[in-house]
Amino acid sequence: MERTKPSLDVAKIKKDFPIMERKIHGKPLCYLDSAATSQKPRQVIEAVSEFYSNYNANVHRAIYELGEDATRGYEGAREKIAHFINARSSSEIVFTRGTTESINIVAYGWGIKGKLGKGDEIVSTVMEHHSNHIPWFFVQDYKGVKLSWIDIDDEGYLKMEDLDRLVTERTKMVAVTQCSNVLGTINPIKEIAKKAHEVNALCLVDAAQSVPHFPVDVQNLDCDLLAFSGHKMLGPTGIGVLYGKEKVLEEMEPMLGGGEMIREVHLGRATWNDVPWKFEGGTPDPAGAVGLGAAIDYLSSLGMQNVRKHEIELNAYGLEMLGKIKGIRILGPMDPKKRGGLIAFTIPEAHPHDIAAILDAEGIAIRSGHNCAQPLMERCGIPATARASFYVYNSPEDIDRLIKGLKKVQEVFA
Amino acid sequence: MERTKPSLDVAKIKKDFPIMERKIHGKPLCYLDSAATSQKPRQVIEAVSEFYSNYNANVHRAIYELGEDATRGYEGAREKIAHFINARSSSEIVFTRGTTESINIVAYGWGIKGKLGKGDEIVSTVMEHHSNHIPWFFVQDYKGVKLSWIDIDDEGYLKMEDLDRLVTERTKMVAVTQCSNVLGTINPIKEIAKKAHEVNALCLVDAAQSVPHFPVDVQNLDCDLLAFSGHKMLGPTGIGVLYGKEKVLEEMEPMLGGGEMIREVHLGRATWNDVPWKFEGGTPDPAGAVGLGAAIDYLSSLGMQNVRKHEIELNAYGLEMLGKIKGIRILGPMDPKKRGGLIAFTIPEAHPHDIAAILDAEGIAIRSGHNCAQPLMERCGIPATARASFYVYNSPEDIDRLIKGLKKVQEVFA
Amino acid sequence: MAYEMYQEQILDHYKHPRNRGEMPDADLQARDYNPLCGDDLTIYLKTDEKGTITDVKFTGQGCAISQSSASMLTMMLKGKNISEAKGIDPDRIVKMLGIPLSAVRLKCALLSLQVLKKALFSKELSQAETMKE
Amino acid sequence: MAYEMYQEQILDHYKHPRNRGEMPDADLQARDYNPLCGDDLTIYLKTDEKGTITDVKFTGQGCAISQSSASMLTMMLKGKNISEAKGIDPDRIVKMLGIPLSAVRLKCALLSLQVLKKALFSKELSQAETMKE
Ligand SMILES: Cc1ncc(COP(=O)(O)O)c(C=O)c1O
Ligand SMILES: Cc1ncc(COP(=O)(O)O)c(C=O)c1O
């Protein structure tokens, strides 16, 4: 098969990732687990080191040059993020530890500490990651609100008739993932947000698997809140983002109490700082922010459209090649354009754990397990899957190695 | 004055800190703001880079070599921390984002989600950092418990008669700092914990300014919970620790809901993972943990007893030299052995902001402002202070530069 | 490491599990679950009045390591006394499997022992609970 | 940068603030606070029926920049019309001070303008609030 000119120059990109030189059991690393966490380019690693080596200081309050440099780095990263997802202003960008903390901030600040009560409802979907389930279970348990979940059809798409049925005048929040980390399904957020707004509900988007992989425009989606993690988009571990429309953020209570997030404190009472700092209790993580800023620079230089095209190409090739394996079950949409860059599957011979273990011996890293989506596993009637996921440093050769590796698995378990 | 052999070889230590080569307004950096955040040695910066370059992967769930290496790094750091503060086992060590998040985890998991109610009381002190105030304000606001605060005497020591008066059968928690970030006062935690236990209350220690600066033994203190931040002890930003006795942690509810912290999840209900992971919702920050582990190795190689001695020496010299400035007001105990390595002060001529600005022109970085302790400022009747704080890379020469710098301030504002 | 893990004995027990099946009239039984990978195991025991294990069965699903470990452990149990069975320690299981195990896979390997212990101590537990009430 | 900041004019206004003091019968007044550094400022205004500012005073505490900025701003206000005063923008204050300002110090410098605006719009606000009720 002749392939057209690829969207990304993977050979060149790979050279930016020091870890790609590592050998696993004597074989070159074939990393197919970016949906769990991505690898980091030199540019990001160096941005973090450079922060510590040149301008590490406490941000915001320091009246000295180091502190001003650190603040510029931190707030500059916030600007970059705002621009990257097309927020109206950087005050809509809250730094968090990751998607999970972002969603919890909403569950506490809007949910548990908010005006919700019995009779109110929150709508989500069966395909959510635990991070977009458990925080709402908390709200249910502490406020007595009712949760319901949009189901999926056999292909792994959301049943849109469920959206119409479940989103009613009682609905106060629709919390949904933009891209499933198991099915790969990309959901029609714009339509879902519109539906939520028709009943004056908010729409929160779990963008952990979308912002890293394709262009996301929060104004175009018109979602109210959106959460993602730096570590899945070439950035450092321990940093993430909560985007929120300014008005929505302003009406939320803070989750974490401490330094940075206050205006005035007296014994027993306090007032809060302006958004977004109101939500950033405690000393911030400027090294993480600066690293995430460098990751965004890197992705922007590749072009998010190209990243997306590249992953569609890998999807197409991956679905084609995996599809040839006898008895394989591939989860989610079979149209490579309708899914994020990941493919979860099972084969009859071996448990996903054993698949992963044998692939590891071949230098190939894939995920196995419930992928932090037990309710979805239950829905699909399988305890676990194997999952290969793609990013900017993957090429069709990685898929060829995966297929060869799966042959080995079949041999061992024959 | 002849000085005895110093406890630390500062000239040698300084070489480990790349930022010390930086010039500020053409002058060598004199960094006296470590109580806000410490600088990082090469060993820590490289441990973080090496994580990303060699074994970055998702921890715990990955069935491949990279993931196992990352897990070893992450859990290995937990072991190091347990050993450093003499915890009984590493399952008493929860990774958090910092002191602030650690205390909030307790305020939510033990307080807001716990069994507290009207009639219950929480005792704290007037010298707390906002991070050990606001979380308890939340508990007050959501559970109707009463807060009270132990006062200080004129020298900046806790009034121990207040402890006796305020801690009663109604008291459920005594939350106190081990070392004030403004007064420097080191509090008698062992005695306070004992008093708390007499009435079956828990004792939480804010160790943000103690664990970095002197040996802390949680078993000897017999505190129930203890919080500190990595960034103040040579470690990366964005990582911290909550220590808790296993039984205490087991009885607490988790604050963050998401991946990692669950055992089984079904639609609408879930069960939690074992401690400490129950409190670590979301993808962890292994790079931060590994960096903190490297910081602990570094501090251990110096010896925490030596770090402490070194800071007492700097305290003694600093108090002596600053004491000569006309009209200066130094906050806190005047005995260098009774305070942490920091000195907050005001001078009549200039506002702390203006002091910091002019010192900056001389290459000297100090803190100015309310130091995140507004209730204490209010108690002391001053809106702000200037604060110089010391760490392993500071020498008496830094204090000489500070004194010279303050002369300049007096000249400008003469 | 992987290939050393999937030795003939392991694969044989995985593909042809011994003592697999339910036991509706079990004297002791317990279930546990490995939240990290979804391995799920139930063990059923029949004992006589002397405390000898007369029959043992298991059900569940999981990877080759957890399932073969369950199969091999159940084989070992028949005819053993309960107190003897209580004394089986993790090392014994590791030796029984005879393969190299990483930390994560060790959890798979030891799930069967964990469930066995739960079953063996379940009687005392429920007695203790009854007494408390 | 620091030494350029503490020019004679600034220091003069800091040490000898103009219009410093309370005004118990003010027509308009407001207070604000800079949470980052503790600068605290109140501005009082007297106006006549034509909306001309006839007197102005300030109280508070803070650094040389925030206090001299307040002193200089109040000097500029006397005789100005309210609507004119409402039009004063941050650039004007920066020019008035004539010194280099970092982002943090800019907040100190602009506190006085922020408080002035709050005072000027306070009437409309309270009127609007009265109308709402
Ligand atoms: C005494 C004390 N407690 C708590 C904190 C809060 O620590 P962090 O901001 O790292 O969460 C600090 C420092 O900021 C402190 O000095
Ligand atoms: C769809 C989705 N949502 C949320 C998360 C949680 O992100 P984090 O663990 O970085 O908080 C993940 C990944 O773990 C994910 O794939």
Can you give the pLDDT of all 133 residues of chain C as single tens digits? Answer: 678 899 999 999 999 999 999 999 999 999 998 877 778 999 999 999 999 999 999 999 999 999 999 999 999 999 999 999 999 999 999 999 999 998 888 999 999 999 999 999 876 655 544 444 3
Q: Which of B166, B157, B153 is nearest to B122 (CA)?
A: B166
- Ligand 2: residue of A210, A211, A372 to mutate (most ligand atoms within 8 A of CB) is A372
Nearest-CB residue to B357 (from D2, D39, D62):
D2
CATH number of the domain that residue D71 is part of: 3.90.1010.10
Query: Token pair for residue D24?
Result: 């118990």
Q: How many Å apart are CA B24 and CA B26, to the nearest integer?
A: 5
Position B26 pLDDT exceeds 80: yes
Q: Which CATH number fits domain A10-40+303-413: 3.40.630.20, 3.40.50.300, 3.90.1150.10, 3.40.50.720?
A: 3.90.1150.10
Q: What is the pLDDT of residues B207-261, one digit of tens each?
A: 999 999 999 999 999 999 999 999 999 999 999 999 999 999 999 999 999 998 9
- The per-residue pLDDT for B11 is 97
**Is A384–C105 a contact, with Cβ atoms under 8 angstroms apart?**
no
- The per-residue pLDDT for D129 is 45
**Is B62–C33 a contact, with Cβ atoms under 8 angstroms apart?**
no
**Is B405 touching A (CB cutoff 8 A)?**
no
Position B19 pLDDT exceeds 90: yes
Residue D131 lies in a domain: no
DSSP secondary structure string for all residues of A221-264? HT-SEEEEEGGGTT--TT-EEEEE-HHHHHHSPPSS-SSSSEEE
Residue B244, beta-bridge partner list:
B225
Give the Å distance between the CA of B258 and the centre of ligand 2: 8
Residues of A in contact with D102 (CB under 8 A): 68
Q: What is the pLDDT of residues A69-108, one digit of tens each?
A: 999 999 999 999 999 999 999 999 999 999 999 999 999 9
Q: What's the pLDDT band for A4 if we cut at 50, 70, 90?
A: low
Position D132 pLDDT exceeds 90: no
Q: What is the pLDDT of residues B336-395, one digit of tens each?
A: 999 999 999 999 999 999 999 999 999 999 999 989 999 999 999 998 999 999 999 999
**Is C3–A360 a contact, with Cβ atoms under 8 angstroms apart?**
no
Q: What is the pLDDT of residues B99-127, one digit of tens each?
A: 999 999 999 999 999 999 999 999 999 99
- The per-residue pLDDT for C124 is 61
Q: How many Å apart are CA A140 and CA A112, to the nearest integer?
A: 9
Neighbours of B247 (CB within 10 A): 10
Query: Token pair for residue B190?
Result: 């062992």
Q: What's the pLDDT band for A41 if we cut at 50, 70, 90?
A: very high
**Is B107 touching A (CB cutoff 8 A)?**
yes
Number of structural domains found in chain D: 1
Query: Token pair for residue A193?
Result: 């947000």
- The per-residue pLDDT for B3 is 53
Nearest-CB residue to D38 (from B25, B358, B370):
B370
**Residues belonging to chain D:** 133
Atom of ligand 1 nearest to the CA of B102: 11
Nearest-CB residue to D36 (from A60, A68, A72):
A60
Cβ-contact C82, C47 below 8 angstroms: yes
Position D46 pLDDT exceeds 50: yes
- The per-residue pLDDT for B4 is 61
**Is A288 touching B (CB cutoff 8 A)?**
yes
Residue A372 falls in the annotated catalytic set? yes
Residue C22 lies in a domain: yes
- The per-residue pLDDT for B414 is 87
Q: What's the pLDDT band for D15 if we cut at 50, 70, 90?
A: very high
- The per-residue pLDDT for A6 is 76
Give the Å distance between the CA of B73 and the centre of ligand 1: 26
Q: What is the pLDDT of residues A128-148, one digit of tens each?
A: 999 999 999 999 999 999 999
Position B6 pLDDT exceeds 90: no
- The per-residue pLDDT for C131 is 46
Give the Å distance between the CA of B278 and the centre of ligand 1: 24
Q: How many Å apart are CA A158 and CA A185, to the nearest integer?
A: 8
- The per-residue pLDDT for A246 is 98
For ligand 2, say whether the CB of B282 is within 6 Å of any of its atoms: yes
**Is D105–B413 a contact, with Cβ atoms under 8 angstroms apart?**
no
Residues of D in contact with A62 (CB under 8 A): 104
Atom of ligand 2 nearest to the CA of A98: 11
User: Which letter, b or e, does each residue of A74-101 get, where b requires 16 or more Cβ atoms within 10 Å of its Cβ?
Assistant: bbebbebbbebbebeebbbbbbbbbbbb
Q: Which of C69, A369, C50, C34 is nearest to C58 (CA)?
A: C69
Residues of B in contact with C111 (CB under 8 A): none
Cβ-contact A44, A298 below 8 angstroms: yes
B15 three-state secondary structure: helix
Cβ-contact B184, B332 below 8 angstroms: yes
- The per-residue pLDDT for C3 is 87
Q: What count of CB pairs under 8 Å joins A to B?
A: 316
Nearest chain B Cα to A237, which residue? B285
Q: How many Å apart are CA D81 and CA D51, to the nearest integer?
A: 6
Which element (helix H / strand E) includes B118?
none
CA distance from start to end of chain B: 30
What value, to the nearest 5°, has the Cα angle with vertex A196 and ends A191 and A201?
160
Position A20 pLDDT exceeds 50: yes
Catalytic residues of B: 372
Nearest chain C Cα to B262, which residue? C35
Domain region containing D106? 2-122
Position B2 pLDDT exceeds 60: no
Q: How many Å apart are CA B193 and CA B196, to the nearest integer?
A: 5
Q: What's the pLDDT band for D39 if we cut at 50, 70, 90?
A: confident
Query: Token pair for residue A243?
Result: 């985007």
Architecture of the CATH domain A45-300 = 3-Layer(aba) Sandwich (3.40)
**Is A259–B130 a contact, with Cβ atoms under 8 angstroms apart?**
yes
Which element (helix H / strand E) includes C56?
strand C53-61
Q: What is the mean pLDDT of chain B?
A: 96
Mutation pick from B64, B105, B151 vs chain A, by most beta carbons of A within 10 Å, is B64
**Is B61–C35 a contact, with Cβ atoms under 8 angstroms apart?**
no
Q: What is the pLDDT of residues A53-65, one digit of tens each?
A: 999 999 987 788 9
- Ligand 2: residue of A181, A189, A228, A387 to mutate (most ligand atoms within 8 A of CB) is A181
Position B264 pLDDT exceeds 80: yes
Q: What is the pLDDT of residues A313-360, one digit of tens each?
A: 999 999 999 999 999 999 999 999 999 999 999 999 999 999 999 999
For ligand 2, say whether the CB of A209 is within 6 Å of any of its atoms: yes
Q: Strands A27-28 and A23-24, how do they pair?
A: antiparallel
Cβ-contact A414, A348 below 8 angstroms: no
Q: Which chains touch D (3 or more CB pairs under 8 A)?
A: A, B
Interface of A with B in 50-79 (CB under 8 A): 52-58, 61-67
Q: Which of C133, C102, C118, C100 is nearest to C41 (CA)?
A: C118
Neighbours of C100 (CB within 10 A): 11
C9 three-state secondary structure: helix
Q: How many Å apart are CA B223 and CA B221, to the nearest integer?
A: 5
- The per-residue pLDDT for B74 is 97
Query: Token pair for residue D65?
Result: 């920049």
Q: What is the mean pLDDT of chain D?
A: 89
Residue C27 lies in a domain: yes
Which element (helix H / strand E) includes A316?
helix A304-323
**Is the bond into B276 cis (omega within 30 degrees of 0)?**
yes
Nearest chain C Cα to A361, which residue? C2
Give the Å distance between the CA of A104 and the centre of ligand 2: 12
Question: Are chains C and B touching, using the cut-off of 8 Å on CB pairs and a minimum of 3 such pairs?
Answer: yes
Q: What's the pLDDT band for D125 if we cut at 50, 70, 90?
A: low
**Is D105–A62 a contact, with Cβ atoms under 8 angstroms apart?**
no
Q: What is the pLDDT of residues B53-64, one digit of tens each?
A: 999 999 987 788
Residue B388, beta-bridge partner list:
B343
Residue C132 lies in a domain: no
- The per-residue pLDDT for A3 is 53
Query: Chain A residues with CB-CB distance to C under 8 A?
Result: 25, 350-354, 357-358, 360-361, 368-370, 377, 383-384, 412-413
Residue C56 lies in a domain: yes
- The per-residue pLDDT for A152 is 98
Position B134 pLDDT exceeds 90: yes
Q: Report percent pLDDT > 70 for chain A.
A: 99
State ipTM: 0.94
Cβ-contact B99, B229 below 8 angstroms: yes
Distance (Å) from the C-alpha of residue C95 to the closest C-alpha of chain B? 22
**Is B60–C104 a contact, with Cβ atoms under 8 angstroms apart?**
yes
**Nearest ligand atom owner, CA of A258:** 1
User: Which amino acid is present at C105?
Assistant: R
Q: What is the pLDDT of residues A154-213, one digit of tens each?
A: 999 999 999 999 999 999 999 999 999 999 999 999 999 999 999 999 999 999 999 999
- Residue ranges of domains in chain A: 10-40+303-413, 45-300
**Nearest ligand atom owner, CA of A104:** 2
Q: Would you say the CATH fold of A45-300 matches that of A10-40+303-413?
A: no
Q: CB within 8 A of C92, min separation 6: which ones? A: none
Question: pTM of the prediction?
Answer: 0.95
**Is C3–A369 a contact, with Cβ atoms under 8 angstroms apart?**
no
Nearest chain B Cα to C37, which residue? B61
User: Which amino acid is present at A406?
Assistant: L
Nearest-CB residue to D37 (from B384, B412, B413):
B384
For ligand 2, say whether the CB of A208 is within 6 Å of any of its atoms: yes
Residue B172's φ and ψ, nearest 5 degrees, are -110, -15
Q: Report percent pLDDT > 90 for chain B.
A: 95
**Is A64–B366 a contact, with Cβ atoms under 8 angstroms apart?**
yes
